[in-house]
């Protein structure tokens, strides 16, 4: 299997103020938008074979509104429509989801003033023609959205309130009414995830609940089409463990699998200040069958077999040595990671759980000041450099939550202030391609279950002109589009001395990439 850039056609787009198209003898499919810097707010939503949508916030304001621009392209990267949409100027973009022929965007004002009526808006936009509706409403002050989705006539959102409580709220698309579906006020809690169960025509909210130093659990709440609570399950971790995160998927009409991360509790209790930390010691699965206790299985990071990047770390070797010496208390040792979880992927009767591991990177700065007597006093402090990604994990499970194999991809070069999922997984026959775009290169690795078919290789992102030299590539990413196609995008500063009046340009680029 070989990874290559697909050459089709080129469309060079300038949104200010006109459109230019350039052809080449062997052109690639790429969009370039000229910009002054990478501070621009361009965002991408792939829409399958219907194309893609580029959208961004402008500096144009009128009365109480600011304007967002939406531009649609077909799968050949040709513009099909463009729309300016007014949004309340106090609102900030949070997230979007694509459902059918509509894209829903959530805007929220976390610092609503008393004079303002609404603190959230949802934009529903037709991806085929740009027609749109805007819904406005009010939720509790000091709320922070965690997740939202569309279920029938409702837009459902899970959020944390006041750093202590959680809730689920819904907007009826027809009546425009906002209502409280559920608020958890007992103890402290955090909203974990939201799942739309299309098989049972319901939706599920998952909550991490802390009652006391010795009582904490995951709460799984299921709701019907009218937002009525129809099922509640409390999942209690084994002694010496606590749950951190959770993602659920339906296996059959009466069975579900909960996947997530857990941490080792190294004392008999845990206080509320340390409970909601996200560092984890391993993964777990919980098989949920109607009217039966959940069957929980734990997988310590020390049990991983094919993670070549992190298996070499000094921290891993030290923890592994301690665990091997003390067989009776083996599960009390691990290495701890911060992880970004992907949604669970189902292929046939197998389930794939993917997460990206990172840590916070700092450097030390030392300066000197002089005290009252003129003595030099050195002072050191740490400066946060960003989040350093170092591994992507992939686990394969059966329908009972048994681990069949593990594997992963080393990440050598991502340091960023923006935490988001970056690694893509593409399935072709028995092989899986794991890949990401960073610093002007696509990194890719091919695996077959626990085996590595091809190690990490790097493929440069192609630019528009022959003599282009990419000087910088920032805020890059890659997302799946359709079939074997992906969208690679980011900001580039490019030099090309052969171009008159364009010897240096800064652009937001979108490349169509094929794995074949």
Is residue 78 within 8 A of residue 11, CB to CB? The reply is yes
Whether 298 has a pLDDT exceeding 50, the answer reads yes
For residue 17, pLDDT over 80 is answered with no
Distance (Å) of CA 81 to CA 42, 87, 232: 17, 19, 45
Whether the predicted pLDDT of 216 surpasses 80:
yes
Whether the per-residue pLDDT at 12 is higher than 60: the answer is no
CB count within 10 Å of CB 228 equals 10
Is it the case that residue 278 has pLDDT exceeding 90? no
Instruction: Give the mean pLDDT of 292-317.
Output: 72
Tokens describing residue 361: 């990177």
Averaged over 302-324, what is the pLDDT?
Answer: 59
Determine whether 252 is exposed, middle or buried from the number of CB atoms within 10 Å of its CB (0-12, 13-18, 19+). Answer: exposed
Measure the CA–CA gap between 356 and 376, rounded to whole angstroms: 45
Per-residue burial over 55-90, b if 16 or more Cβ lie within 10 Å, else e, is: bbbeeeeeeeebebbbbbbebebebebebebbbbeb
DSSP code string of 225-266:
TTS-EEEEEEEPPPTTEEE---EEEEEETTEEEEEEEEEE--
Edge-to-edge strand order for the sheet containing 120-126? 92-99, 102-108, 120-126, 132-137
Model pLDDT for residues 398-456, shown as the tens digit of each residue: 999 999 999 999 998 899 999 999 999 999 988 999 999 999 999 999 999 999 999 99
CA 407 → CA 39, 117, 331, 352, distances in Å?
36, 50, 21, 11
* Averaged pLDDT score across all residues of the chain: 87
User: What does the alpha-carbon distance between residue 254 and residue 291 come to, in Å, rounded to a whole number?
Assistant: 9
Residue 339 in tokens: 């992880």
Least confidently predicted of 50-64, 285-299, 371-385? 371-385
Is the confidence at residue 324, as pLDDT, over 70?
no
Choice between 292 and 197, residue whose per-residue pLDDT is larger: 197
- 157's CB contacts (< 8 A; 6+ apart) are 106, 139, 145, 147, 148, 168, 169, 170, 171, 194
Q: What is d(CA 180, CA 201) in angstroms, rounded to the nearest whole number?
A: 20
Q: Residue 410: what are its φ and ψ, rounded to 5°?
A: -75, 140
- Is 279 in contact with 301 (CB distance < 8 Å)? no
Q: Is the pLDDT of residue 52 over 50?
A: yes
pLDDT at 13 over 60: no
Contacts of 295 (CB under 8 A, 6+ apart): 286, 287, 289, 400, 401
Extract the tokens encoding 506.
Answer: 């800064």
Confidence of residue 10 (pLDDT cuts 50, 70, 90): very low
* Cα angle 491-7-446, degrees, rounded to a multiple of 5: 80
pLDDT for residue 11: 28
């Amino acid at each position: 299997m070989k990874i290559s850039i697909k050459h089709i056609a080129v469309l060079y787009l300038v949104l200010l103020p006109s459109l230019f198209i350039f052809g080449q003898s062997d052109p690639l499919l790429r969009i370039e938008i000229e910009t002054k810097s990478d501070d621009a707010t361009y965002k991408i939503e792939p829409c399958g074979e219907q194309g893609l949508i580029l959208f961004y916030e402008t500096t144009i304001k009128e009365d109480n509104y600011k304007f967002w621009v939406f531009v649609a392209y077909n799968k050949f990267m040709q513009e099909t429509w463009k729309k300016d949409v007014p949004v309340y100027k106090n609102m900030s973009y949070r997230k979007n989801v694509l459902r059918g022929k509509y894209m829903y965007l959530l805007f929220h004002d976390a610092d609503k003033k008393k004079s303002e009526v609404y603190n959230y808006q949802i934009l529903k936009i037709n991806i085929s023609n740009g027609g749109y509706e805007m819904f406005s409403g009010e939720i509790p002050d000091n709320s922070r959205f965690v997740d939202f989705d569309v279920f029938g006539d409702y837009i459902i959102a899970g959020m944390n309130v006041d750093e202590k409580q959680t809730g689920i709220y819904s907007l009826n698309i027809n009546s425009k009414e906002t209502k409280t579906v559920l608020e958890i006020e007992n103890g402290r809690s955090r909203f974990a995830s939201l799942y739309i169960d299309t098989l049972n025509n319901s939706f599920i909210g998952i909550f991490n609940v802390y009652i006391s130093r010795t009582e904490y659990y995951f709460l799984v709440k299921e709701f019907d089409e009218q937002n009525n609570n129809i099922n509640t399950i409390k999942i209690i971790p084994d002694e010496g463990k606590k749950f951190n995160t959770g993602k659920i998927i339906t296996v059959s009409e009466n069975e579900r699998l909960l996947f997530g991360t857990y941490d080792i509790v190294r004392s008999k209790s845990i206080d509320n200040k340390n409970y909601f930390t996200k560092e984890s010691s391993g993964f777990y699965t919980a098989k949920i069958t109607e009217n039966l206790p959940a069957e929980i299985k734990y997988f310590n990071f020390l049990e991983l077999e094919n993670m070549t990047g992190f298996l070499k770390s000094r921290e891993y070797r030290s923890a592994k040595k301690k665990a091997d010496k003390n067989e009776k208390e083996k599960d009390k040792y691990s290495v701890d990671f911060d992880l970004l979880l992907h949604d669970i992927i189902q292929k046939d009767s197998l389930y794939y759980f993917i997460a990206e591991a990172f840590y916070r990177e700092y450097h030390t700065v030392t300066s000197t000041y002089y005290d009252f007597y003129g003595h030099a006093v050195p002072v050191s402090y740490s400066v946060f450099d960003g989040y350093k990604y170092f591994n992507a994990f992939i686990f394969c499970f059966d329908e009972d939550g048994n681990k069949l194999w593990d594997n992963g991809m080393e990440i050598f070069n991502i340091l960023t202030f923006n935490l988001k999922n970056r690694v893509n997984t593409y399935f072709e026959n028995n092989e899986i391609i794991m890949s990401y775009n960073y610093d002007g290169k696509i990194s890719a690795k091919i695996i077959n279950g626990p085996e590595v078919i091809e190690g990490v290789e790097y493929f440069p992102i192609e630019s528009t002109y022959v003599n282009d030299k990419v000087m910088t590539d920032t805020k890059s990413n890659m997302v799946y589009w359709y079939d074997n196609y992906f969208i690679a995008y980011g900001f580039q500063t490019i030099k090309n001395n052969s171009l008159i009046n364009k010897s240096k340009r800064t652009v937001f680029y979108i490349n169509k990439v094929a794995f074949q």
